[in-house]
Structure 1
Amino acid sequence: MLWFLTCVAALIGGYFIYGAFIEKVFGINTKRQTPAHTKADGVDYVPMSTKKVYLVQLLNIAGVGPIFGPIMGALYGPAAMLWIVIGCIFAGAVHDYFSGMLSVRNGGASVPTITGRYLGNGAKHFMNIFAIVLLLLVGVVFVSAPAGMITNLVNDQMGMSMSMTTMVVVIFAYYIIATIVPVDKIIGRFYPLFGALLIFMSVGLITAVALSSEHQVMGGFEISDMFTNMNPNDLPLWPALFITIACGAISGFHATQSPLMARCMENEKNGRFVFYGAMIGEGVIALIWCALALSFFGSIDSLAEAVKNGGPGNVVYSASFGLLGVFGGVLAFLGVVILPITSGDTAFRSSRLILAEYFNMEQKTLRNRLLMALPLFVIGGILTQVDFGIIWRYFGFANQTTAVMMLWTASAYLLRHNKMHWITTVPAIFMTTVVITFILNNATLGFGLPMQLSTILGIVASLSITGYVIKKSKGKGETDLADEEKPQGKAETA
């Protein structure tokens, strides 16, 4: 229990100490009007209270990733918890802060537009393709996962008979509605309530396992285990752990979601709480599920058996009902189900907005929103027929590659403004090495090269990209779009 509480305390401390430092380096301007005010359209640009924006941001970014990922990552042992803490503070939360604040500074722009502004048109086109592919994969994953979980709940606990296909159709129908209606009608109105359920679920489960006479949080593990790969399937910790645990540590999907709330945030001073803070909140959720996976089943081998018999969804089901009984288990299980649903609809919403920016099509009229959204749902519906395991593997790689692009974009921004770029460059180098090594080494998705050679090539490629970005960006002194359009006060720079 002490290890778990120490990790949680580290995340909270990271928010107040390192988060404040990141905010200072960025240099907020409390006098500049945000896009929520300058571009208010009643559909996507809608001012909302800070608490609402935070809870919506948390739900947008927290799909099944911070639950399924840490459960799968727990197969590596307590080392997974170290990555969640370190990755969240120094990489994930920094990534989320810059993806949100750069959107605020650039009129609520989506991530491909921001990437193009600071890394060039080639990077913009690459990011457009990658972001759309990622969001479609997210949408499909976040249809299939909750559909399967709800079907199991209805059939097993309620004694009813429901097909998964029926549930997929119902969720898709909801996604279509949530994607095209104004952001404050469904997302802004109901998601804060879902956020409260999410918090209840997380706190309730970890409290239950702490008070349980049968289970002990992190019981049976030594300090030395924190640095040991305990995976029973002999899967290498490097670089697979850093792909497996994405959303709880660093996730490129978040870069596609942050602009949604950048269009609703009322003041730049709220950015640290909304963007950096939501990632810290997701990190706590990831720690809870990693600890539950390591504690509830008693051993790594038993956890592996549970995953083998029904995937991470089976772990969620077993832990929820095993710790909280039928009533509490239903609430906790629904809290988990809500996560992918509230991320899936915003994934399609982000796709619509990215396409709209690319084709320069305004989204105030319903007709234009449907023109952008319906083709995405047709493709998404086709992809639901592909094996879930295949979709998940490609999602993991696409997710972390998008994060890499966002981190390099943030580095280019800081270089152009003569600010401390290493706060984003260091995690960018690390994550670039991770994704390149992974794709070169992985025989299923990539090239199947030896691990040592793949790692060397990954390091060389990362250092080459670092030199290119520094040379291309340093000292250009480029202003933000907001500065070019209407300066509104002196920035509070570091």
Structure 2
Amino acid sequence: MWWFLICLAALIGGYFIYGSFIERIFGINEKRATPAYTQQDGVDYVPLPTSKVYLVQLLNIAGVGPIFGPIMGALYGPAALLWIVIGSIFAGAVHDYFSGMLSIRNNGASVPSITGKYLGNSPRHFMNVFAIILLVLVGVVFVSAPAGMLTNLINEQTSLHLGTGAMVVIIFAYYILATIVPVDKIIGRLYPVFGALLIFMSVGLMTAISFSGEHTIMPGFQFGDMFSNLNPHDMPLWPALFITIACGAISGFHATQSPLMARCMENEKNGRFVFYGAMIGEGIIALIWCTISLSFFDSVDGLADAVSHGGPGNVVYTSSFGLLGVFGGILAFLGVVILPITSGDTAFRSSRLILAEYFNLEQKTLKSRLMMAMPLFVIGGILTQVDFGIIWRYFGFANQSTAVIMLWTASAYLIRHQKLHWITSIPALFMTTVCISFILSSQTLGFGLPMQISTILGFIGSVAVLAYVIKVAGKHKNLSHSDKATDNLTRIT
């Protein structure tokens, strides 16, 4: 129990201490008008109360990542807890803060446009392609996962024997609706309630297992296990753990979601709570599910057996009903199902806005929104026929690669403005090494090179990227005319 409490305290402390440090380096301006007011259009740019913006942001970024990822990460043992804490505080929350605040400073721009401004057109075009691919993969993953989980729940609790196809159609129909209607009509009204439910049920599950007489919190684990690989299938901890946990520590998907709420934020002073704080909240959810996974099944081997009989969805189902009974289990399970659905629709919404921004098409009219959205849903529908495991593997790599690009973009911004860039450059160096090492060593997705060679090449590649970013950003250390205009005060009237 003490391990969990120490990790929880570290995450909360990280928000107040390191989050405040990040905020000071960025330099907020409370008197500056935000895009919610300067670009207000009644569809995507709509001022919303801070509490709503936080809960929507939490749901937007969560998906199944902070649940499925930590469950699979728990197969490596308590080392997963360590990465959730360190990754959330020093990488993920910093990444989310800059992706949101740089969007605010650039009229609510999407991440490819921000990348283009600070790294150049070639990285912008690359990020456009990468972001759209990632978002469509996210949409597909977040259709398939909840469809399968809901179908299993209905079949287990009733006499019905449904297939997942019907549920996929229903979820897709909802996605289309949520993607094209104004942000305050569905997302702004329902998602704060869903966010509160998510928090309540996560805390409820942790409370239930803590006071359960049948289960011990992380039984049999020693302190040294924090730094060991306990995976029963001998899967390498490096670099797979840092790809597997993803949303529970750092996720490029968040960079595509933060601009959605950057367009709704009323004041820059709320940025730390909304962007940095939502990632810390997601880290706590990830911490809870990792701890439950290591505790409910008594050992890593017991967890591995549960995963082998239905994947992480089976872990969620078994532990929810085992700890909270039928009624509480259904609520907890539905709380988990809501996560991917509320991230899947915003994934398609983000991709619509990125495409519209790229082609410079207005999105005030329904016809224009449908023109951008429908091709994405057609592609997504086709991809739902691909094996979920294959889609998930590609999603994991694309997700972390997007995070890397966003971190380097933030570094370029800080270098250009002569601020401490190492707060983003160090996590960018680490995650670049992770991504390169992973793709070079992977037998299924990459080149199958030996791990030592892959790691060396990954480190060399990350240093080369750092040199490139310093060179590109260094040319603009004296603020350009457009940056000066961006930094001038725009008074809220």
TM-score range, shorter chain: over 0.9
* CA distance in 2 between partners of 1:447 and 1:52 (Å): 45
- Which AA in structure 2 matches 1:81? L
Task: Report the CA distance between 1:486 and its aligned residue.
Answer: 8.0
Equivalent residue number for residue 484 of structure 1: 485
Equivalent residue number for residue 403 of structure 2: 403
- Which AA in structure 2 matches 1:97? Y
Equivalent residue number for residue 253 of structure 1: 253
Equivalent residue number for residue 129 of structure 1: 129
* CA distance in 2 between partners of 1:88 and 1:477 (Å): 32
Verify: 1:42 aligned to 2:42, yes or no: yes
1:369-380 mapped onto 2 (5 Å cutoff): 369-380=369-380
Q: Does the 8 Å CA contact 2:33/2:490 hold for their aligned counterparts?
A: no
- Which AA in structure 2 matches 1:182? P
Verify: 1:75 aligned to 2:75, yes or no: yes
Equivalent residue number for residue 109 of structure 1: 109
Q: Does the 8 Å CA contact 1:116/1:123 hold for their aligned counterparts?
A: yes
1:95-174 mapped onto 2 (5 Å cutoff): 95-174=95-174
Kindly tell me the number of residue pairs found equivalent between the two proteins.
490
Deviations 1:105-128 (A, max 9, x none): 000000000000000000000000
Q: Does the 8 Å CA contact 1:63/1:142 hold for their aligned counterparts?
A: yes
Deviations 1:392-443 (A, max 9, x none): 0000000000000000000000000000000000000000000000000001
Task: Report the CA distance between 1:484 and its aligned residue.
Answer: 2.0
* CA distance in 1 between partners of 2:482 and 2:63 (Å): 31
Task: Report the CA distance between 1:480 and its aligned residue.
Answer: 8.9
* CA distance in 2 between partners of 1:202 and 1:34 (Å): 33
Q: Does the 8 Å CA contact 1:76/1:231 hold for their aligned counterparts?
A: yes
Q: Does the 8 Å CA contact 1:106/1:481 hold for their aligned counterparts?
A: no
1:322-333 mapped onto 2 (5 Å cutoff): 322-333=322-333
Equivalent residue number for residue 388 of structure 2: 388
Verify: 1:209 aligned to 2:209, yes or no: yes
Q: Does the 8 Å CA contact 2:219/2:299 hold for their aligned counterparts?
A: no
Change (3 A) 1:223 1:325: same
Q: Matched residue of 2:355: which SS?
A: helix
Q: Does the 8 Å CA contact 1:107/1:482 hold for their aligned counterparts?
A: no
Q: Matched residue of 2:192: which SS?
A: helix
Deviations 1:343-374 (A, max 9, x none): 00000000000000011000000000000000
Q: Does the 8 Å CA contact 1:29/1:489 hold for their aligned counterparts?
A: no
Change (3 A) 1:67 1:50: same
Q: Matched residue of 1:247: which SS?
A: helix
User: Could you list the runs of 5+ residues in structure 1 that have no partner in the other structure?
Assistant: none
Change (3 A) 1:318 1:479: farther
User: Could you list the runs of 5+ residues in structure 2 that have no partner in the other structure?
Assistant: none
TM-score (structure 1 length as normaliser): 0.98
- Which AA in structure 1 matches 2:394? Y
Deviations 1:144-163 (A, max 9, x none): 00000000011101222222
1:53-452 mapped onto 2 (5 Å cutoff): 53-452=53-452
Equivalent residue number for residue 19 of structure 1: 19
Change (3 A) 1:486 1:366: farther
Deviations 1:21-60 (A, max 9, x none): 0000000011110000000000000000000000000000
* CA distance in 1 between partners of 2:140 and 2:185 (Å): 24
Change (3 A) 1:482 1:415: closer
Alignment root-mean-square deviation, CA: 1.1
Verify: 1:31 aligned to 2:31, yes or no: yes
Task: Report the CA distance between 1:477 and its aligned residue.
Answer: 2.9
Q: Following superposition, which runs of at least 4 residues in structure 1 exceed 6 angstroms of deviation? A: none
TM-score (structure 2 length as normaliser): 0.98
Q: Does the 8 Å CA contact 1:425/1:466 hold for their aligned counterparts?
A: yes
- Which AA in structure 1 matches 2:287? L
